[in-house]
Amino acid sequence: MLSAGRIAVLASFVIVYGLTFATPFVLLPLVTAESLGLRRFGTLSGLTGLAQTTGAALGPLVAGRIFDLTGSYTTALELFIAMQMLGAVAAFACLPLSVERSRVGGAVFRAA
């Protein structure tokens, strides 16, 4: 960024990156609380944080191993895209707690 040829490109990058970088860190707790409730929020937040940390630690190692075996990052990229898509499908499959309570009748949630 220090040797950016055009100030307009640099400025637009800073604005877009600045506004979108922290989005997952803000949205994940909101989605977790809305879809699964506040009763177990701490436990669920800890488990999602553990999964994020594990992925961040193992991702580069897996990508490097795939590169060593194949000589290309294409397979690693395809694997990570498939994992992202699976996570997106799982996230979209979650229903808000209020909808799930009305669907089930609330009996399961009262006992917990």
Q: Would you list the domain boundaries of the chain?
A: 29-111
Residue 23 banded pLDDT, cuts 50, 70, 90: confident
Convert the pLDDT of each residue in 31-55 to its tens digit: 888 877 788 899 988 998 899 899 9
Residue that the structure tokens 């640099």 belong to: 10
Count of residues for the chain? 112
Q: Taking Cα atoms as reference points, which of 36, 34, 68, 32 lies closest to residue 52?
A: 32
Residue 112 scores a pLDDT above 50: no
Residue 23's φ and ψ, nearest 5 degrees, are: -55, -50
Residue 11 banded pLDDT, cuts 50, 70, 90: confident
